[in-house]
Amino acid sequence: MMDIRHIKERAEEFQRVADGKKIAVSIAELLDADERRRELTLRAETLRASRNRRSEEIGSLMAAGKREEATTIRARIGTEKEELSNVEAELDIVMQRYRYLMERVPNLVSADTPEGRSDADNAVIAVTGTPPKFDFEARDHVELGEKLGLFDTERGVKVAGARSYFLKGDGLKLQRAVQQLALDLLDERGFVGMDVPLMVRTRAMHGTGFFPSGQDQAYRIEGEDAWLVGTSEVPLIAYFEGETLDLNEPIRVAGVSTCFRSEVGSAGRDVRGLYRVHQFAKVEQVVICRGNWDESERLLQEITRNAEDLLDMLELPYRKVAVCIGDMSQKNHKQYDIETWMPSRGAYGETHSASNVGDFQARRAGLRYKGEDGKLHYAHTLNNTAAAVPRLLIPLLENHQREDGSIYLPPALRPYMGGREFIAAPASTEKQAAE
């Protein structure tokens, strides 16, 4: 958790950020709890020391035959023992409140983080590419996917409920192609690929800052200390938990995983198609570096560029936005989102999110390194999506559609799609449509 001394020094700023991130925590109450726990801890230590000293004194008095004096001191010990019990009981209550509040203290945000209350207030930094203009009636990804036999949402709902789907045939191939392209790109840039556990312990969720605030978004395995991950960022950070790391060079890892999110609070939003689903797949970039703001800022630009390069390879129009304080999670210090043009929405939709978390996760998960001064310091951690599918299939299908219903495949994807330049409708589908 955050350093209480740091919180005390910048209390007003922490409260401003908490309010901006819509986190219900009172920094004043936290500082009061901290003061009270210090007072009670000192009183408890004083009473224990007195008890130990008096116990030794009783032994000496009894050895000297001074039983009456020993009895008097024994009575004092009894009184102090009762007081100690009361102090420890109150300390336990205060500590529970202290920990509750500390877990909800947000990470401070960078000086260049925009003000704002929602994603509508995010600041556009750069726009790359031009949204296509079709000289035919364009289809959305659902119509294209059904026509081409790429996925089946109707049967997905039948089998698993709302926001579920089956990928099949070329839909599955296309998803795996995008993932492998992302992995190969990151492999060339020094990332170590990792297939990660899909279930983690509660400690891992707290250690990465996804709990307690994001608990309603996660699926719990009933009867076990296990949760399904919403991103491989969680197991990748937890992989290094409690370790002293060699960070002469940043650690770069790329997690491949299926992810699960309950989407609580999104009822009625994006229910059609593949934009907001309960189960999806990601290739996630995670970087751990020394606790140096210049270094972690450079790495934030690097991992963001990786995602942009992937979109360039996929020939998709996109924009980069600086995320405002009201759209940031508890753990993030600075964040960029990359939004890709989705014709059916008539707007850009988020496909990537890059964050510099500073030492927020490192403090919780115990990620440290030995500095040049020979002392242990907390690391900085960063993360960014390299590819999230099936959401990324939406702009791929919609931007690259042709009038005949086929889908153009950019050259970067073709080696993973059997060398084909297009995904064309199966003959059986075309025949049924003609009939």
Active site residues: 261, 276, 350, 353, 391
C-beta atoms surrounding 42 within 10 Å: 11
- Write the single-letter amino acid at 308: E
Closest of 281, 282, 278 to residue 163, by C-alpha: 278
Q: Read off φ and ψ for residue 247, nearest 5 degrees.
A: -115, 30
Residue 142 CA to residue 272 CA, distance in Å, equals 8
Tell me: cis bond preceding 390? Omega within 30 of 0 counts. Answer: yes
- Residues 110, 334: contact at Cβ < 8 Å? yes
Q: Is the dihedral of CA 297, 302, 305, 310 positive or negative?
A: negative
Whole-angstrom Cα distance, residue 289 to residue 382? 8
Burial class (CB in 10 A: 0-12, 13-18, 19+), 114: middle
- R_g of the chain computed on alpha carbons: 28
User: Please, which residues bridge with residue 260 across strands?
Assistant: 279
- The one-letter amino acid at 281: A
